[in-house]
Structures are given as C-alpha cells and as structure tokens.
Amino acid sequence: MASIMTRSPWIRTVVACALLGAWTGCDPPSDGDDPVCGDGTLEAGEECDDGNTTDGDGCDGQCALEGDVTCSPLADVTDLIGSNQLFFGYAVLGADLSIPDCGALETAKEIYVSLTPDFDGDLILSTVHPTTRVDTVIEVRDSSCDGMSLGCVDGAATSEGKGGARITIPVQAGEQIVAMVETSDDEAGVFALSLHEAGVCEGLGATEDITADLMTGRQFTVDTAASTATMQGSCSWETDNNPEALLTFTAPSTGVLVATTAHPNTGFDTLLYVREGSVGPERYCDSAEAEIACENDRAPWGTATVLRFEVLAGRPYSLFVDGGSADAQGPATVILGYEAASPAPASLLGCNHAGIQDQFAFFAEAGQAVYANADTADSATAADLRLRIRRPDGSEVYEADDDMDCTYPPPAYSCPEYGFTAETSGLYYVEIYVGTSQSCFDHSLANYQLTVKVDDQHSDLILIKDQ
C-alpha cells in the first residue's frame, strides 16, 4: 500500500525547520526546562509533538518521528454490496494515520476497508445502524488509503441518529475505492457499515409513504418490476436480485400489524420483510440490522405472503415487497391492518349510516363454511347494526340486517348475521355500520362485537378500516 503522510502539524513544522537549518519561524528551544512530550508544543529535544504520547501515529510516545506510516485496508467488503450483511468495525483495531477532509475527529483512529463495485452509478455507504452509537466520519478515497478524497461526511453534523453517517458516491465498475471510518471513541467505539446501490431507500423506484392512508380501508398497489433491486431480507434467496417495492409509515398505535399480499391482483410469488426505525427521525430503511420480521409464502394457499409484526406507536417502519423465488416480480396488492381475533370487540364512533364504518378481513378457502354476526355490546350504546360481506375481488356476497335478536336491543330493529360457503380461496371482508334508520341510544358511540367463524372455528381477523 502507498504510504500516508503524517497528520500532525508539528511534525510538518519540525521537518520544515530542519530544511531551513534554523529555528526562524519555529518555537525556540527551551532555556533549560525539560521538554514535555504530548503537550502539543514543539520543544528542544523533540522531533515532533502531536499532542499525545501514542505510538503508531507518526510521532511516537517519546516525541520522535516514526517515519512513513503505511496503511492496509482491514478487509475487502465488495461482497457486502447489496447484501443484507453488515461490516462491523472496532475502533481499537484502527490506527491514527491521517486526517479526513471533514469532521472534528482529527486525533481519532481510523478503520480502512476496500471495495470494487461492479456497476456504474451511485453507491451508498452508511453507518446509520442500531449498533452505531458513537459519532462517525466516513471518507471515501480513490484507489488507496492515501488516494484523493471523493467525499466526506461527518455524522455528528447531520440528523442521522446517534452519530451515524451516510454518504453517496458515484462509482464506476471495476474501479477500487477505499472507505475510511473514524469514531469518537478510540477504545470502545463500534460501528456497523452497509453498502448498496441507490434504490428505494433513496426514493428511487416503487416507493410510497402510506401513513395518512393506514386504517382507512385502502389497499396498497405496487409494481416491483418498475423498481430497483438493492435490498434483501433475512429470508430472501441467497442469490436474490429481484426488485423490491417500499411502503413506509409511522405506526398510529401499538399492537400487532398484519401485512398480506393475498389479493387477486398479486401476480407473482411474494416475500415481505419489515425494518423498524428509531424513536428519532431515523427509519433505518437500509439497515438489515433493523429488520424485525421476514416471511415468504405463509398464506393458507398459493404464493401470497402473510407477515405479522409488533409495532410501537410513533415509530417509523419500512415494509418491503420483494420476490419470493427466482425472477419473481410484478404487480402486487398489499392489505395492512391490526391483528384481531373473533369474537372481536370494537366501536363505531358515531351513528351515521353513510359516513362511519369499520372493516375487517379474514381468510377462507374454497368450500369452507363461513358464518358472521355483529351483536351489541352494552345497553347504553346499543345500535341498529348492519353487516356486509365481500369476496376477495371486492364484490358483494350479502348485506345482512335484522336477522337475529341483539343481546342488548337497540331503540329499534335487531342485529345482523349471515352464513355462506366460500366460492374461492382468499381474503374476505366484513363491513360493520349502522342501518339507514340510524337508531342508536348514543349517537357518538356504538359498541359491538363481531364474530366470524370458518368451518365452525373462530377466525383470525385483520382490522383494516377504523375511523
């Protein structure tokens, strides 16, 4: 490896003074006091003084020049580009060899890694990961440790979380670059480094923030064929190069979310995985370390996917729709809602036939017997309820009204129930609302209980619309 010039300005000063053959412009020799090595002041008897007594940084513990200091990258991380693996760096294994073009960590140790991308385009290097809990600086250099700086980012000067840094560098296939990472803790500093081509986490391809549409009953359509292939989940194929779509959101409440691609419009074998962000602004979108769930082909049938994962209110999440097998890509529809179970207690926040509605989803296979009813939950909020069931394609099966006695009778009419045989396999939907009479004891609240059974067994439910 090429050598690196020493970083200390006092080393450069003493060399210049030696060339001049005089102390003109330099600190004069001491009048007899012994020099203090490590105080940052060049004194008689010292060849250098870089403000510390650390060996290996060009100026040793006795303030003697160590000559040329060379560096070798700790590892080649080319194989990590675009994978779901991270490089973990430990500052204690580094050396204080050079000064980056940015940041205030001039006396910090550096870790060097080399890489040779196989594409032309933008490469993202990031230490923004849960493991990184110290300030970091990333500088990318051309060809070698002492190559020309191609870019530098100081994590402490950004809002990227706990000192993590993220830098975007244009690269060319086959050309080696070297990344240098410094941390603010030379002894206990630990960082994680990821590398990937720019993609959905940078806003390219099929990506959408769906926070405003959660729990409204909206179904989210994506097309991975029109997107990028830069991310992988822990359950992805080892040679996965399928493009992925990204849906981001902030959880409205704490609970268990269910995401599924079980929809007639999903046209390929899907895979779902999700990453959890921090309590601050960082989503950790491109951090494999932040993954909390990954699932491939866990629907009751076919190649659709069902993914269950816990969320915390106010946290940001990144949900990826990927291919579950070789060359799997195309259009998909994602249904996302909170986990519930029959019999499910719920409430309508008002007594409005047209404007207020809850919607649940449940799985049924062709030929299974399905039964559903909605019953009042207490006398104070009893209301005239209705129930509508829809097929997986959204078409109506039946609207039930006044079919059974309510446990707590409303001011007028009764409660709905209906049974049928599922015609096709898929995700069915149940809508709950008050009848046109709008007969309610409390016009601001209607508590109810929804029961759904499939082959006489209580069904798992997904609450996908809740005003």
pLDDT, position 4: 33
> In the predicted model, what is the mean pLDDT of residues 154-179?
84
C-alpha distances in Å from residue 422, one per residue of 193, 281, 323, 335, 359: 50, 45, 29, 20, 18
Average pLDDT over residues 333-357: 95
pLDDT of residue 19: 29
Radius of gyration of the chain (CA): 31
What does the pLDDT read at residue 17? 31
The residue-averaged pLDDT of 423-435 equals: 96
Contacts of 55 (CB under 8 A, 6+ apart): 61, 66
Tell the burial category of 208 from Cβ atoms under 10 Å away from its Cβ (0-12, 13-18, 19+).
middle
The residues near 425 (Cβ < 8 Å, ≥ 6 apart) are 300, 301, 302, 364, 365, 366, 392
Residues with Cβ within 8 Å of residue 28, at least 6 apart in sequence: none
DSSP, residue by residue, 347-365: EESS--TTT--EEEEEEE-
Res. 187 pLDDT band, cuts 50 70 90: confident
The CATH number of 75-197 is which of 3.10.580.10, 1.10.760.10, 3.90.1170.50, 2.60.120.1050? 2.60.120.1050
Domain 75-197 identical in fold to domain 200-330: yes
- Given this model, what pLDDT does residue 210 score? 98
Handedness of CA 226, 305, 315, 253 (dihedral sign): positive
Q: Is the pLDDT of residue 47 over 50?
A: yes
d(C-alpha 323, C-alpha 237), whole Å = 9
Q: How far is CA 394 from the centre of its chain?
A: 32
Compute the 3-state secondary structure of the chain and give helix, strand, coil in percent, each to the nearest 5: 5, 40, 55
pLDDT, mean of residues 205-217: 97
pTM for this prediction: 0.83
Count of H-run helices and E-run strands, the chain: 1, 30
Quickly count: other Cβ atoms within 10 Å of residue 296's Cβ. 20
In whole angstroms, give the CA distance from residue 407 to residue 429.
24
**227 contact partners, CB below 8 Å, separation of at least 6:** 199, 200, 204, 205, 206, 207, 243, 244, 245, 246
Per-domain residue ranges for the chain? Answer: 1-70, 75-197, 200-330, 342-465
Q: Compute the mean pLDDT over every residue in the chain, rounded to the nearest whole number.
A: 87
Which one, of 353, 418, 344, 411, lies nearest residue 377 by Cα?
A: 344
* Residue whose token pair is 């299974």: 368
Q: Which residues contact 230 (CB under 8 A, 6 or more apart)?
A: 82, 196, 197, 198, 199, 200, 201, 244
pLDDT of 413 strictly over 80: yes
Residue 219 has pLDDT above 80, yes or no: yes
C-alpha closest to that of 435 among 374, 346, 370:
374
Q: What is the pLDDT of residues 48-62, one digit of tens each?
A: 666 788 876 667 888
Helix (H) or strand (E) holding 452: strand 446-454
Q: pLDDT at residue 301 above 80?
A: no
| Termini Cα distance of the chain | 64
Q: Is the pLDDT of residue 416 over 60?
A: yes
Q: What is the pLDDT of residues 269-288, one digit of tens each?
A: 999 999 999 876 688 999 99
200-330 topology per CATH: Jelly Rolls (2.60.120)
pLDDT higher than threshold 80 for residue 92: yes
Lowest mean pLDDT among 59-63, 250-254, 264-268: 59-63
How far apart are the C-alpha atoms of 59 and 134, rounded to whole Å? 26
Fold held by 342-465: Jelly Rolls (2.60.120)
